Structure 1
């Protein structure tokens, strides 16, 4: 491969995940700047060529080789039955940073309580192929129709008996007066690669590098750094309450009977930890955010 061939074509999901994906890449070291007039954002890496693509179509473009790699949902890979390499799971989202769920929902006042109760009924969903297979495997005869959008409203308007829809918190479904009766699939974002690109040593190394740094950015999202000064005679008392990924970093302060102590800790533990550290003699405690933890 010559220098001019060292370009990785990377798909960025357009739509609801676009901003969250670009923020994640920024923390990982890639600044992606979209243009409102086209689907090819700028990126601060001459070895990357980014394309905006709907998550629903991403796996097809990666499978065909139009893209070398891309980010899309596990749900759309299953829906399209795409033959791609799943490099890794990247659990992030626009709302809760936890896996989303495709659920079966019915009207709140309907008699249906389980999937079997929908035998002979009509279901609307954007995830049609997967839903057809789900009910076929469960031996439940239903009619599944594709929904172009506003799926929740179709139950309310009496157009269908149930829907299969994606949700993170269930808030929107409840707001439409619907009730979840089953979870069909948990899904999260996945980094996928074209099989031929994965076999290319340079492209595989580039994809693996991207994955490493994205995972590091996600890992850092729940962690913070703490730095503090501790009198030497109180170090053991402080050590008794210090959580750390490994051992804390400890250094002598210049011409002082004090130590500088630095740790990485889960952000949700800090509110209880800082008062405890102060009570044991720690001073000048600094909390700082992290971009990546590799």
Structure 2
């Protein structure tokens, strides 16, 4: 039987969250100390722990079939690779930043300047799109220090909270790219591996839906049920069950995070009571 080989970061910000989503999919991974490769106990999956920057080439070569990587890495080194699923975690930006005292108003003012970065291809594409000619200074370590030591006039780097920029007396000038963790695939998957991938994607979809939704139970007077049902479409329609107390019903439904508090406010305003909210472990449609 075929086994899917998935690459994740050996270490770094994506490592723990990559393992978590696989485990949330019910895949049993028993890590040994300093292992570079491990097989799942209950799913045809083999996990490779690789250096982040090497992963796109391993996908091209077919050494790995899948990988959980930052979208920014694919933009830099793997635009030819297919994204199978956006995973919603490890969100960040690749930004252009300058010293706080600089008064540059547009990227055009960086023409002829030096820009330090660990993402030369991403930066070059950005400069080309803006018709700017600047000197790219490649740095593999801490990019933020470059302007402070006179090595560059600006930097291009990953920004998460912005605290690192602040500590190094820098400010964001422009966002080049927004990124999150993605599941990417090799172009060399055979039919059997694609079938295993479909099963994995089904599990991932169930996990991601559950993370973005809450299970809600509430009590409602029967004369208000129609109003409440209009507010609560649910996955198809809410479940309504009579309570022991005459004239009242229990309503069960699912509310998605993006509109959760607005809907709760509406429910209360039309007479819903005793609203209980629970997390959902998996949501299978």
Residue 135 of structure 1 corresponds to 127
Q: 1:65-114 CA distances to partner (integer Å, 9 max, x unpaired)? A: 11011111222223224533322322221xxxx4x221111111124332
Matched, 1:89 2:86: yes
Which structure 2 residues correspond to residues 193-204 of structure 1 after superposition, within 5 A? Answer: 193-197=185-189, 200-204=190-194
User: Which range moves more in the overlay, 187-196 or 279-288?
Assistant: 279-288
Find 1:79's aligned residue among 54, 76, 84: 76
Conserved? CA contact 1:90–1:215, under 8 Å: no
Structure 1 residue 167: Cα displacement = 1.3
Shift of 1:31: 3.9
| Cα distance change on mapping 1:275 and 1:10 into 2, 3 Å | same
Q: Give the structure 1 partner of residue 199 of structure 2.
A: 209
Q: Choose 169-178 or 63-72, whichever is displaced more.
A: 169-178
State the SS of the aligned residue for 1:32: coil
Q: Which residues in structure 2 correspond to 1:1-294 (within 5 Å)? A: 3=1, 6-14=2-10, 15-41=12-38, 43-81=40-78, 83-93=80-90, 98=91, 100-197=92-189, 200-252=190-242, 258-267=248-257, 269-271=259-261, 273=263, 277=267, 282-293=272-283, 294=285
5+ residue gaps, structure 1, are: none
Per-residue deviation, 1:267: 3.8
Distance 1:251 1:201, change over 3 A: farther
**Count of equivalent residues:** 283
Deviation digits for residues 146-181 of structure 1, max 9, x if unmatched? 212211111122221111011134332233211222
- 1:259-278 Cα offsets, whole Å, 9 max, x none, are 33210003465556557646
Structure 1 vs Structure 2 CA RMSD: 2.7
SS in 2 for 1:131: helix
Q: C-alpha separation between the residues in 2 aligned to 1:224 and 1:145?
A: 47
Give ranges in structure 2 of 5+ residues lacking alignment: none
Give me the whole-angstrom Cα distance separating, in 1, the residues matched to 2:141 and 2:126.
Answer: 21
Q: 1:47-81 CA deviation, whole Å, 9 max, x = no partner?
A: 11011223322111111111011111222223224
Question: Distance in 1 between the 2:231 and 2:80 partners?
Answer: 49
- Counterparts of 1:72 and 1:215 in 2: how far apart (Å)? 17
Distance 1:171 1:218, change over 3 A: farther
- After superposition, what is the alpha-carbon deviation per residue over 1:176-197, rounded to whole angstroms, capped at 9, x for unaligned? 2112222222222221111121
**What is the CA deviation profile of residues 135-155 of structure 1, one whole-angstrom value per residue up to 9, with x for unaligned ones?**
244332222122122111111
